Every structure is written in C-alpha cells, then in structure tokens.
Chains A and B, each alone.
Chain A
C-alpha cells in the first residue's frame, strides 16, 4: 500500500501519518515513510508518504498512491498526481488560505473543489471543521479524517486497529476526545 497525507503545516498531518505507520508496524508490516516539508515552520505545504511491502524508497512515485488524505483542498489538489487511477481520496473541503492571499487574492476555492469533484477516482469529501466542532476541539481534524478513511474500508486499517493505536500513542487525557473524533469521522456525512 502507498499512502499520501497532505495539508498545511500545523494541521496535524505528520501525527496522522505516524498513526498510520505505527498501526502497520504493529501488524508486522515493513514500513517506509518520508515527509516533504519546506522551510516554513508553520503554514507551508506538507506531504507525508507511507509505503509498505517491498518499497525501497520512502517516497511514493506519482500515480501509485492507493489512498490520499487531504486536510486542505488546494493541498489535496496539488497531490492528486500521486493518486492511482483506482485510488481513493479522503478530503476536507475547508480551505486554509496562505498569507499571500491576503495581499493578493490567489485562492479560487470553487475551481479547486470542482477539479477535485470531477476527478475520475473515488472522492470522499467531508466538512472537516464541522467534524471538529462536533468533536469539541479544533485540533482533531487529523483523527476525524483517519476515522473517515478507516470507516470507509479503503484505508486497509480497521477502526478497531486505529483505536488501539490511539491508546498506545496518545496521552491518556487526550484519548477520549480522539476516540470520539475517530467515530465522528467514521460516521461523517459525505459532501
């Protein structure tokens, strides 16, 4: 399996990719992964690659990701060339505008959403902010999206497996919130 997790620095994409990798390793799979992060500490494009089986390089080649999880529509669109023809994308539709778009408006959300909706692959789109509000924290978009992906059956990881990983990896005081976020994701209405 090849996974691409993408979003904007600060959205929690790296933790999401670590949770996926951790689950796969726990199951006994050999995993390679990598992150591409620019110079920006926050607010930059972030792409995490996760690969299993006989992969030698940690980077997913274009056109070979089975699953793409996009935390932000423009970043998801940027990574669409990675997605396999029969791949599945799980995308939150809420934009994060870069600081440059306050100086000059260069973010056309409608165009990007239309592009994503018209893609030939299976697209599972959700309102990530709404899911976070339901869970009661703006910081759990990552686990909500993992819930959407695991619940859909396309992630290759079950909700039970992901719950077990949350238990292993998260501090106890954050566990309830994240388990709730996972379930909210799994039950989320698609847009």
Chain B
C-alpha cells in the first residue's frame, strides 16, 4: 500500500520521531510505523495536527529526522505552526505528509496542498506511484536538511491506497542527532522574521533550479504537442497515450513548488500546445502559463483554466483518455453499455451502532421543541441520513459546538444541540466548550463516546487509556474535563437504554446554561456482539423499526420484516421501540 511505502521509506531514511492525527487517506502511514518500528522510533497519535507538527518541530530542532502525517484538512488545523516553521527552519529533516483527497471521497473539501506549499513557501513532493513514494521520501529528507526547511509530501488517495510491488532497501540510514543547541535563531521575532523572509525568498528560485535536475521530474518524448502532468494523472496520461498508440512530448512534475522552471523551458521549447493533466487546482497550468508570458513563448497552455479539464472531482483513466484523444485530434470510438437501474448503497451507520441510539434518544427528547442539531466530523456525520435526519449543520472538526452557539445567539427561541465524538472532543472540541461557558451561552452538548476514533479505523485517543504503541496511558476523563471547564450539568448515560437516555437529554435540555450528556457505549467494531434478535409472530408489519431506526440488520422482504442474523449485534434498540413487543432474543418463537 502507498501509505506503507511512505512509512517504510521514512523508516529506512532513519526517521526517529513520528506524529500524526488520523484522517483518510493518510491514516495507515503512522499505523505502519507502529507496526514496523525497529524499536528506536518515537511514534504518537497526537491530539490534533497542530500538536503533531509542534512535537515534531521540537524533535527536528534537536536534529532528529521527523515525520508528521495528516489529511489535507488537517493542514488547516496546523497552518499556524507550519507557516511559522517556514521562517524559522529546522535542523533534522522534517517531512510533513499531507494526503489530498480528490473526489472528495471522504473529506469536506477538495483543497490542493500544492497551493498551500506555495503559500507557506515550503517545497512539495508529489509522487505518482506507491513505489515512487517509497524512493521519494528519502529525497524529501535530503532536500529538507540541505535547505534547512520542513518539506511537504503530498500523495493523493490513489497513491495512498494504491498497491504496487516495491523493492525495499534493508539498511536503515543512521542519522546522528546533536541534541538541542540553544540559539536565538529558534525564537521567532519580527526582526528575525524579516531577515529570514529575505533568505527564504532568495532560496525559492535556488530550490526551483535544483528541482530542474531532480530525478523524478522529467521531460521525454517528441512532437509539437505536449502533455504536462503530475501524480496519478501522470500514470493515466501515459496509459492513455499507449492505448491511443500516440506520442507527444511529456513533462512530469514531481515538485510543483518551487517550480522547476528550467526543466519546464526545455519542455516548452518547440511546442505549439500543451495539455495539463493534474487533479485539484491548476497549479502546473498556472506556472506554465506564467513561464510562457515571462519568456514570451507562443505555446498555448490548455487545462482547467481554458475549460478543457474539470476543476472538481477525481480524474479517471477514461476522463484522461478522452481529454488526451481530443487534444491530439484522435478519433475515439465511444462504446457505452446500458446498465439497468441499480440500487444505491449510501453510507449508513452500522447495525447496532450506538450513535443510532443516541440520535434516536435526542430526537425523542426534542419532540415538541424548536431544536437545531449541529453535527461534527466522524461516523456520526452519517446521522444526517434518513430516517434519523439529525444533522442540520456540519462544517469541520470541532465546529458543531461553536456553531451551535452562533445559532443560539441568532435564534434565541431554539434549543441548540451539538453532537461531538470522543476523539473530536479532544481534537478541537474543548476550546468550544470553554467559549460556551465563558460567554454564558445555552447549548446542549451531546458527546458520543464510543471509546475509539471509529471512522478512520479505530485509533486510540486521550480518552481510551491506550497510546499509539499499544502501551497503557492515563485515561483522560471527559466528564472531569467538562467539570473543570465549569459545565454545571453533566449527565452520563447509556444510549442503548432508551427510556433513561431520553430522560437524560430532556433534563439537559431544560438546564439553563451549558449542559452535556455523555453517551457511553463502545463502537460495535471493537466490542463483542451480543446474541442477535429475532422477530416473533407478534409482528404486525407496522415497520416502525425500519421507518424510525434505519438499521441495516432489519430487512423488509416479501411482506415480512426479519432480522439479518449476520448483521445484528443484539443492541436491543429496536426491541425497545416495537409497539407490539415482537422483537426479542432467541428464546421466543420465530
């Protein structure tokens, strides 16, 4: 897997400190470091991306090679230290892996980290295959140390989650760390920032020049037409040319910033037109257009800005092939198969997921109230789906709690519920609750504590009592944190005991001030299933269970309701809402 390649590449490059926060498609990088740790690497799941970058920066100041991992939106959460580090620099090589998600397949935005690299003035590496990523990580450390700057490593989903055969080097580079040496250069001040800004700007064209001879940037092929590409777009374009039996000049850009201008000039020389194939933002396209203007070249640059390629969404082999064929004026036979109507399979909460019970309890308790439900990022975002429909807003990590406060200010007649998961609570939820208490808002915070970071594949967090390495940690108690902040009404409840859960929510909603209900029930993927339930002959086929809960284990077929025993984990939520008492454990009759 590409993420394993990145992790192994870093391990073989002698990385000694690895920090990150889980986020698709980046999560498996840090998990692989934990698995393959030769024993001398410090590795942690940090509480959020900002903490991860700062912990790594401290280690980098001391001369260790460090790795930070996150998804693209995680970079927003840590842009403060990243922007400042560009000015201060580092000693031990520091690679910040930021996985972009064209599509987006599981993210809030389609932001392009190559742009962020230009904005923060940090060099960026963009691998086009998993095997290339393995090799490139080592280069990233070398450039980082050569120019004393953190570098960004930006794979996309297809690289992170693609697999390929890779030849691994067995030996690990041994980097001797000097330790932290006190020096005024480590403390940022306006005067120092000015001086470093001058150095920084001088360095950018220098690195661009250096990148023109970088081994993974290349120009090949011949012709008066050219294709410029990067990342997975490179693989798609090369394969498109092959299947169209066509040839043209080709520029592969593995480092979009600082742009390898000299190499680009070599590519543009003699070309009439260029098609740029890159997912997300038109970064290479703008650079080539700029170079054409700067050197007064007549080459026409086509891409997103000219309407030839789409801005949004993930590229596919087919999309690239059709763009290449029309760019090169090659007729292509279009053959489409008429596939019949197929069922859609929208993402839903798992059968027995305790979040379903929590949402249902809040929905019952809020009946008759004018309520607004602010959601957050995690599995529980799926609470927006029918039939629960309990997510009115969702923006970014930790935003539910704070947005609920603004909604409350603007709509004082409403009751504002904010849902937050346990990992998100620690990530960026806590300051929002401090804000609510300090500014005397009235909101009800519903904490969905399932004892794990579920959506990204069950990573531990500060509330779980386990560290990334698997070692035991001090459990940080959510109720204790809330109490310390000054939340005056805190109720712990088991969401799977419906009646009590509903009355807990009612009590919290009646409280004048900030209140919290902590729904504690482990994720079904990390707990043992109970005996599955069955539908007895008392069932009147009213289908209330299906219409109100939407549990994938309850199926309606041929005029009957039944429970899929392979999916049911025996959570008992449905048996508590069945008006005819027809759902029970196995001792009943079928």
Which residues of A are at the interface with B, using a C-beta cutoff of 8 A? 8, 21, 25, 29-35, 38-45, 55-63, 74, 77-78, 80-81, 97-103, 106-108, 111-112, 115, 138
Q: Hey, which chain A residues are within 8 Å of B106, CB to CB?
A: 38-39
Q: Hey, which chain B residues are within 8 Å of A55, CB to CB?
A: 239
Q: Hey, which chain B residues are within 8 Å of A97, CB to CB?
A: 343, 555, 557
Of A40, A62, A74, A80, which is within 8 A of B343 by CB? A74
Tell me the bound Cα distance from A39 to B385 in angstroms.
Answer: 13
Q: Hey, which chain B residues are within 8 Å of A33, CB to CB?
A: 162-164
B236 and A57 contacting across the interface, CB-CB below 8 Å: yes
A59 and B317 contacting across the interface, CB-CB below 8 Å: yes
Which 6 residue pairs across A and B have the least CB separation, nearest first?
Answer: A57-B235, A40-B347, A58-B162, A61-B317, A56-B235, A39-B347
Among listed B14-22, B48-56, B479-487, B544-552, interface-contacting one: B544-552
User: Given A56-B238, A59-B316, A21 and B340 touching (CB < 8 A)?
Assistant: no
- Please tell me if B181 contacts chain A, counting CB pairs below 8 Å: no
- Please tell me if B306 contacts chain A, counting CB pairs below 8 Å: no
A34 and B342 contacting across the interface, CB-CB below 8 Å: no
- Please tell me if B329 contacts chain A, counting CB pairs below 8 Å: no
- Give B424-474 interface residues, CB cut-off 8 Å to A: 454-455
B340 and A57 contacting across the interface, CB-CB below 8 Å: no
- Give B284-333 interface residues, CB cut-off 8 Å to A: 316-318, 321
Tell me the bound Cα distance from A63 to B334 in angstroms.
Answer: 11
A62 and B317 contacting across the interface, CB-CB below 8 Å: yes
Tell me the bound Cα distance from A35 to B105 in angstroms.
Answer: 12
A30 and B337 contacting across the interface, CB-CB below 8 Å: no
- Please tell me if B527 contacts chain A, counting CB pairs below 8 Å: no
A80 and B340 contacting across the interface, CB-CB below 8 Å: no
Q: Hey, which chain A residues are within 8 Å of B554, CB to CB?
A: 102
- Give the interface centre of B337, B454, B455 by most chain A CB atoms within 10 Å: B337
Of A42, A57, A60, which is within 8 A of B350 by CB? A42
- Please tell me if B556 contacts chain A, counting CB pairs below 8 Å: yes
Tell me the bound Cα distance from A102 to B336 in angstroms.
Answer: 31
Tell me the bound Cα distance from A36 to B567 in angstroms.
Answer: 22
Number of A-B contacts (CB under 8 A): 137
B345 and A35 contacting across the interface, CB-CB below 8 Å: no
Chain A contact residues, majority secondary structure: loop
A115 and B340 contacting across the interface, CB-CB below 8 Å: yes
Tell me the bound Cα distance from A134 to B227 in angstroms.
Answer: 55
Q: Hey, which chain A residues are within 8 Å of B130, CB to CB?
A: 58
Q: Hey, which chain B residues are within 8 Å of A106, CB to CB?
A: 341, 343-344
Q: Hey, which chain A residues are within 8 Å of B161, CB to CB?
A: 34-35
The contact sample of 15 A-B pairs, CB cut-off 8 A, is A31-B164, A39-B105, A39-B106, A41-B454, A41-B455, A56-B129, A56-B235, A57-B158, A57-B232, A58-B235, A81-B339, A97-B555, A99-B552, A106-B344, A115-B340
B339 and A41 contacting across the interface, CB-CB below 8 Å: no
Q: Hey, which chain B residues are within 8 Å of A32, CB to CB?
A: 129, 162-165
Distance in Å from the Cβ of A121 to the closest Cβ of chain B? 10
Q: Hey, which chain A residues are within 8 Å of B557, CB to CB?
A: 97, 102
A99 and B550 contacting across the interface, CB-CB below 8 Å: yes
B165 and A100 contacting across the interface, CB-CB below 8 Å: no
Q: Hey, which chain A residues are within 8 Å of B567, CB to CB?
A: 42
Q: Hey, which chain B residues are within 8 Å of A43, CB to CB?
A: 345, 348, 350, 552
Distance in Å from the Cβ of B359 to the closest Cβ of chain A? 15
Distance in Å from the Cβ of A72 to the closest Cβ of chain B? 10
Chain B contact residues, majority secondary structure: loop
- Give the interface centre of A25, A59, A81, A102 by most chain B CB atoms within 10 Å: A102
Q: Hey, which chain A residues are within 8 Å of B342, CB to CB?
A: 74, 77-78, 112
Distance in Å from the Cβ of B347 to the closest Cβ of chain A? 4
User: Given A39-B347, A56-B235, A74-B342, A61 and B550 touching (CB < 8 A)?
Assistant: no
Which residues of B are at the interface with A, using a C-beta cutoff of 8 A? 105-106, 128-130, 158, 161-165, 232, 234-236, 238-239, 243, 316-318, 321, 335-337, 339-348, 350-351, 379, 382, 386-387, 454-455, 525, 546-547, 550-552, 554-557, 566-567
Smallest Cβ-Cβ distance to A113: which chain B residue: B340
Of B165, B347, B351, B454, which is within 8 A of A30 by CB? B165
Tell me the bound Cα distance from A107 to B558 in angstroms.
Answer: 13
Distance in Å from the Cβ of B346 to the closest Cβ of chain A? 6
Smallest Cβ-Cβ distance to B336: which chain A residue: A81
Q: Hey, which chain A residues are within 8 Å of B318, CB to CB?
A: 61-62
Q: Hey, which chain A residues are within 8 Å of B347, CB to CB?
A: 38-41, 44
Q: Hey, which chain B residues are within 8 Å of A78, CB to CB?
A: 339, 342
Given contacts A32-B129, A33-B162, 15 further A-B contacts (CB under 8 A): A32-B165, A34-B163, A41-B454, A43-B348, A56-B238, A57-B236, A58-B158, A58-B164, A59-B162, A74-B342, A77-B339, A77-B340, A81-B339, A107-B343, A115-B339
Q: Hey, which chain A residues are within 8 Å of B455, CB to CB?
A: 39, 41
- Give the interface centre of B129, B158, B340 by most chain A CB atoms within 10 Å: B340
Q: Hey, which chain B residues are within 8 Å of A101, CB to CB?
A: 343
Q: Hey, which chain B residues are within 8 Å of A81, CB to CB?
A: 336-337, 339
Q: Hey, which chain A residues are within 8 Å of B344, CB to CB?
A: 98, 100, 106
Tell me the bound Cα distance from A138 to B379 in angstroms.
Answer: 27
- Give the interface centre of B105, B130, B316, B346 by most chain A CB atoms within 10 Å: B346
Q: Hey, which chain A residues are within 8 Å of B551, CB to CB?
A: 99
- Give the interface centre of B339, B550, B556 by most chain A CB atoms within 10 Å: B339
Q: Hey, which chain B residues are within 8 Å of A111, CB to CB?
A: 340-341
B345 and A61 contacting across the interface, CB-CB below 8 Å: no
Q: Hey, which chain A residues are within 8 Å of B546, CB to CB?
A: 102-103
Q: Hey, which chain B residues are within 8 Å of A63, CB to CB?
A: 335
Q: Hey, which chain B residues are within 8 Å of A115, CB to CB?
A: 339-340
Q: Hey, which chain A residues are within 8 Å of B234, CB to CB?
A: 56
